[in-house]
Chain A
Amino acid sequence: MRLAAPDTRALQLGLMPGLSLADARARVPELAAIDHDPAGDLALLEWLADGCERYTPMAATDPPQGLILDITGCAHRFPNGETGLASDLARRLERLGLTARLARASTPDAALALAEFGGNEVKALPVAALRVEAETHLALRRAGLKTIGDLATRPRAPLAARFGEALPTLLARLLDEEDTRITPRRAEPAIWTEARFAEPLARSEQAIEVISGLAREAAEAMSRRDVGGRRFEASLFRTDGHVARLAIDTGLPTRDVAMLARLFNERIESLADPLDPGFGYDMVRLAVPLTETLAPEQLQLEGRSMAEVEVAGLIDRLSTRLGKCRIQQLQPNDNHIPEQAAFTLPAQGKPAHIEWPKPEEGDPPLRPLQLFDPPQPITVIAEIPDGPPRRFQWQRASHLIVLYEGPERIAPEWWRRKDGHMAGKGGLTRDYYRVEDAGGRRFWIFRHGLYGTEKASPDWYLHGLFA
């Protein structure tokens, strides 16, 4: 077992990372050793990155210990600009009991390097600041190139030839000749608006009111661009760094503030754990990650009536409360196997409008109102090989069949089976019968497999009930 992360005191005593635990204990008998938890460390890093979103939506982690924030254009809220932002961050980290080294630069590579190695001047950094393999570092040092400054003045092509293709690009990024965007943990939303509070909000209800106010601002921004939102995310930032997130979806693009407030209320009520303000929320942000065009004329042009919007709003509310998949629409499918001939889809996704096949005039219903999934096993008395059912037993009740129609033969999809074209491997044919018992109840039952040719003793099933 080796030391992974000695603290300051341990480092002062000469215990370097990589030292074996036995050796370390030999030098410092009273050493306290805790199991290294890389997963826990990563989780903490990600939690911190989430908290840093209060400064900018562009926050990313640089594992195992790095956080990188793109604060371009985000520092104007602070009295001292970027310096003020940095000291605010340093203060919060200190309050959490974390030691941090902060650095600012024009490119992410330079900022990370300065934070890791210290100092203000990129050129003074050692060549280890370049993120290349250890052998390359060794090769550079052997060549007498010790700092970034040494490399800066040299022509790049020979460097690439001698030390690898990646070197000139990384060097350029450190020296602010090239820039790269960080990949934030969350995509930058199209529209966002936020509110900060010198006195943190102590109650969740206050936060909800603030969300409504922010929704109004967001609606104005959307209106200026002739768009409506399809997805809305509210982030509540606690003073201790924790971020609570509430997200809602809508079926149609919307700018309706009252409806958004109702949906957020539904979302909060449907949370498994209630909102915990802790010591208070000091910032609330509302982002609209997904928008769609919503010009005022569009409502009439696309024939979308007020009633349609109202029903869409109702579906949104119920979907937010119960979950998208519980509010369903039925859709036909071009398949002759009964249980595959129809789907249920979430209504909020506005499934495509497909016409259902119309039954023949004069026919009674040929398909049951309710379908069992899976079909229910029944025992049937019928003449072999293919006589109609005379009586069946389902769940301890016996039914005498008085009227029947059938068989309607539904063949298996033999082409989907391996070797399905060979005899006996195509699957079992179903012979369906529409039956009515003495009590006037109507059932849809089938024989599973042809007697003799497909199955020695076919089973019977109840697939559905008619009205």
Chain B
Amino acid sequence: MRSRLESDRGIHAEQIAFGAETLDRRLGGGLVRAALHEIYGDTADEASAGGFALLLAWRARKAKPIFWVREEKADRLGGKPYGHGLAGLGIDPNALLLVNAPDSIAALRAGADISRCSAVGAVIIEPFGKAPVLDLTASRRLALAAGQNEVMTLLLRTGVEPMPSAAHTRWQVASAPSTPLPANAPGIPAFDVTLLRHRGGIAGIEARLEWNRDRQSFDQAPLSGGVPAVAIGGTSQAVERRAA
């Protein structure tokens, strides 16, 4: 599988690191920039999954604008993006453009057009619910466009089961308890991320990440007890062999 990856993109395809050393090492650098990645979350974790996608896009954008394509149904049920909240995460809202699509077909079409514009840094496509129009063929087209135009394309889906797709990686993201600040106040954003699929064959990554706004990167969250921050399936050598 890895050799196919190499022939598709070359060994040195640009990768976007999370900033958390162990996780980035496990991934072989980070997430491939010119690719389609999927982020799944439960309905209750919609804001966390959305925040995670935004932060990835923010790290990947290289001073170019980011687009976030949502369906208008999502606004009514989950709330609208709030500029001061974005600023609180260290994202400049002036670099973000929102597309409020009337339905999932329009959302997918807009997302595809955006991913074909190389002047765009990253695009988050957030269809609402099952969105049957988003089938394997559609995701292949998105993956192809992302690869050709170097636009990191993130497909964000909440409240649905993962479906077959041509994405390079697939993640499950949930809200994680934060490290409390003095006086028992909620701390900086924390996420529990699980790698569900990876085209390069990497598997079994679970991590708890915190977002450090001042350094604009993710950190491994300190955990209580002896549990490693990045859980891996099998020994580290086994992972290396599988990836080779």
Contacts and interface: CB of A to CB of B under 8 A. Distances in A.
Interface of A: 306-308, 310-311, 314-315, 317-318, 321-322, 325-332, 338, 341-342, 344, 347, 353-359, 361-373, 397, 402-405, 434-436, 438-442, 464-467
B128 to A, nearest CB: 14
Interface of B: 44-48, 50-52, 54-55, 64-65, 78-90, 92-94, 96-102, 106, 110, 113-114, 117-120, 174-178, 180-181, 183-192, 211, 213-214
Given A402-B177, A404-B185, A440-B175, A464 B85 contact: yes
A369 B102 CA distance: 22
Given A436-B186, A465-B46, A368 B82 contact: yes
A405 B178 CA distance: 13
A356 B188 contact: no
B208 to A, nearest CB: 10
A328 B79 contact: no
A371 B79 contact: yes
A192 B88 CA distance: 50
A229 B71 CA distance: 32
Contacts of B89: 365, 369, 467
B48 A467 contact: yes
A66 to B, nearest CB: 44
B63 to A, nearest CB: 9
Contacts of B188: 364-365
A164 B60 CA distance: 77
Given A317-B113, A441-B175, A464-B85, A328 B211 contact: no
| 4 A-B pairs closest in CB distance | A467-B51, A365-B88, A465-B47, A370-B79
Contact of A441 (B48, B94, B102, B120): B48
Contacts of A317: 113
Given A361-B214, A404-B186, 18 more contacts: A310-B118, A317-B113, A328-B100, A330-B81, A331-B83, A338-B84, A353-B94, A356-B93, A364-B189, A365-B188, A367-B85, A405-B185, A436-B177, A436-B186, A440-B176, A441-B47, A464-B79, A467-B50
A140 to B, nearest CB: 63
A397 B119 CA distance: 43
B119 A342 contact: no
Contacts of A404: 184-186
Nearest to A397: B44
Contacts of A314: 113-114, 117, 119-120
A440 B181 CA distance: 14
Contacts of B213: 359, 365
Nearest to B117: A314
Contacts of A357: 84, 87
A359 B93 CA distance: 13
A306 to B, nearest CB: 8
Contact of B184 (A358, A365, A403, A440): A403
Residue from A353, A366, A403 whose CB has the most chain B CB atoms within 10 Å: A403
Given A327-B99, A440-B190, A465-B79, A332 B84 contact: yes
A342 B86 CA distance: 11
B43 to A, nearest CB: 10
A272 B164 CA distance: 34
B84 A322 contact: no
A329 B92 CA distance: 11
Nearest to B78: A370
Nearest to A309: B119
Contacts of B119: 306-308, 310-311, 314
B42 to A, nearest CB: 10
B214 A466 contact: no
Contacts of B45: 441
20 contacts: A326-B102, A327-B97, A327-B100, A328-B98, A329-B97, A330-B81, A332-B84, A356-B92, A361-B214, A364-B189, A365-B89, A367-B82, A369-B89, A370-B47, A403-B185, A404-B186, A405-B183, A436-B186, A440-B176, A440-B190
B79 A434 contact: no
A355 B93 CA distance: 9
A403 B82 contact: no
Nearest to B44: A441
A356 B47 contact: no
B80 A341 contact: no
A318 B110 contact: yes
A363 B84 CA distance: 14
Contact of A369 (B47, B113, B118): B47
B124 to A, nearest CB: 13
A373 B79 contact: yes
B213 to A, nearest CB: 7
B87 A359 contact: yes
A322 B93 contact: no
A323 to B, nearest CB: 9
A466 B99 contact: no
Nearest to B96: A330
Contacts of A367: 82, 84-85, 87-88
